[in-house]
Amino acid sequence: MMDTIMGGKRRIDEESTMAGRKIGKQAIVIGAGMAGLAAAGAVADYFERVIVLERDRLPNQAVPRLGVPQSRHLHALIPGGQRALADLFPHFEQDLADASAVPLRMAGDIRAEIPGLGPLPSRDFGWLLYGASRPLIELTTRRQAESLANLTIRSRYRVLELTATPDGSMVTGVRCESADGQQQVLAADLVIDASGRGAPTLALLRWSGQPEPDEIVIGVDLHYTTATFVIPQDASTDWKGIATHPHAPERSRGGYMLPIEGGHWVLTLTGRRGEQPPAEPDGFMDYARRLETQTIYNAIKHAERQGSFERYANPASIWRRFDRLNSFPDGLVLIGDSICRFNPVYGHGMSVAAQEARLLSQLLKERATKADPLAGLARRFFSESLPLIEAPWNMSAVPDLVYPETRGERPADFESRLKYDGALLRTAMHDAAIHRLLSEVQQLLKPPGVLLDPAVDRPVQRELVQMAAE
């Protein structure tokens, strides 16, 4: 089944290794989604050629495509991911702005409505988030990747399997099929599985009898319905985007709306289990009217809707613990959703993928002068990317697990964490510095450890005392 197309010894271009630059002839990336594009950009400096293989026909315009069904729904590229993409592709932010993405001042332009507390104060922290459709974010990233001279994106090429040494300990390339049914084996010094599900990697591990990763699952049973509206002339000038959070755990109705290119709002209504936002006009509007506040309903009630309603069901967040494996084939890494599929409502997936890609580039830079720079790369990558995944995973696990029906293991200190997070949010209402720090953590600009600082903990402890007295 698996081909052996290279010997056990990796081919390295000696001359370019010595120059401290190229460490291999060819890298292959499976998938031209956000993770694949970011990864291709990240490794391009270190290989003579990078080929991205994508099973879809890739559109020349910012329109949804089959292989990324989630692209019809609201996608917030939060600042931590935006910066990582800008580090990989220096023109990324400018090109996004030039393509009419909407600059949003954080946090002033986005109204965050918290049940029981009201909207968080409108404070300007001095950084921007660009409101754009997922297809525009992806197209802008793809154009950046395509501008690299040694990088090629082959559309309508499906990867059928990884090729490897007979014992599966080293990946040597991929077998792929073009749209006309022609099969081909492409050799690679490094294969990056950005297929979104990690299916090629899992198939190799299974076939070669190597251990597969444990999975941590949080069964969220989340439902999305999304619609696009023309922003009316008389839209509020107090905010440009809005998040109306659900009153958990009693109710799970949430509404999230961002302005995107073309003068549109994209509005995603969410619910869990039995609370499913309808995908027809009257039901959708009624659901919007019965969110925790009527801000979104009032904004859209006279707005012109464009296009159809789109649905998405997300049964579970899944984190495959590749970092816990004692062995993993050389010549292969995974990135993005192939490792961890987050609950999309917190908007972390694209940003974590971009930060992982930036990490991959840093690791290759460090290793470029080593004798065998790719040996053990994946295990190092899995362990160093752990904090990039762990922070957003924990941030979303606590609010997800607050619903009693959510499947997943609750940490021993779950109740006290929940209380602490509630007190932190209350403190952020009246303390601008803590609000800013909390936003930086939520938007993946800073690690959660910064919130352990006594300057944060002291006022939060005072808030906890106050809450206990109420």
DSSP string for residues in 39-92: HHHHHGGGEEEEEEEESSPPPSSS---TT-GGGGS-----HHHHHHHHHHSTTH
Is 349 a binder of ligand FAD (CB under 6 A)? yes
Member of 6, 51, 53, 269 binding ligand FAD (CB under 6 A): 53
Closer residue to ligand FAD, CB minimum distance, 17 or 351: 351
Q: Which stretch binds ligand FAD (CB under 6 A): 74-82, 203-211, 420-428, 432-440?
A: 74-82
The phi, psi pair for 189, rounded to 5°, reads -80, -30
Q: How far is it, in rounded angstroms, from Cα 404 to Cα 396?
A: 15
Under a CB-based contact definition with an 8 Å cutoff, are residues 268 and 226 in contact? yes
Member of 24, 41, 271, 336 binding ligand FAD (CB under 6 A): 336
What is the footprint of ligand FAD within residues 230-249 (CB under 6 A)? none
Site size toward ligand FAD (CB under 6 A) is 36
Tokens in use for 59?
Answer: 């559109």
> Strands (DSSP E) along 196-272, which ranges?
215-230, 241-244, 254-260, 264-272
The least distance separating ligand FAD from the CB of residue 305, rounded to whole angstroms, comes to: 19
Q: How far is it, in rounded angstroms, from Cα 277 to Cα 216?
A: 27
Residue number of the CB atom closest to ligand FAD? 349
**Interface mask (CB under 6 A) for ligand FAD, residues 129-158, using x and -?**
-----------------------------x
Q: What angle do CA 342, 346, 352 make, to 5 degrees?
A: 55
Under a CB-based contact definition with an 8 Å cutoff, are residues 429 and 355 in contact? no
DSSP string for residues in 81-124: HHHHHHHHSTTHHHHHHHTTPEEEEEETTEEEEETTTEEPP--E
The least distance separating ligand FAD from the CB of residue 310, rounded to whole angstroms, comes to: 9
Under a CB-based contact definition with an 8 Å cutoff, are residues 6 and 173 in contact? yes
Member of 13, 48, 56, 421 binding ligand FAD (CB under 6 A): 56
DSSP character at residue 143: H
Member of 127, 207, 297, 312 binding ligand FAD (CB under 6 A): 312
Pairing verdict, β 332-334 and 151-155: unpaired
Element (H, E) at 311: strand 305-320
Closer residue to ligand FAD, CB minimum distance, 224 or 420: 224
Is 31 a binder of ligand FAD (CB under 6 A)? yes
Member of 27, 34, 88, 171 binding ligand FAD (CB under 6 A): 34
Single-letter code of the amino acid located at 81: G
Q: Which stretch binds ligand FAD (CB under 6 A): 89-97, 189-197, 213-221, 247-255?
A: 189-197
**Interface mask (CB under 6 A) for ligand FAD, residues 352-371, using x and -?**
-x------------------
Member of 2, 6, 28, 30 binding ligand FAD (CB under 6 A): 30
Closer residue to ligand FAD, CB minimum distance, 73 or 426: 73
Member of 13, 48, 64, 67 binding ligand FAD (CB under 6 A): 67
Is 80 a binder of ligand FAD (CB under 6 A)? no
Q: How far is it, in rounded angstroms, from Cα 423 to Cα 186?
A: 55
Member of 55, 175, 223, 320 binding ligand FAD (CB under 6 A): 55
Closer residue to ligand FAD, CB minimum distance, 220 or 374: 220
Is 350 a binder of ligand FAD (CB under 6 A)? yes
Binding site for ligand FAD (CB under 6 A): 30-36, 53-56, 67-68, 70, 73-76, 158-159, 194-196, 224, 312, 314, 336-338, 344, 347-351, 353
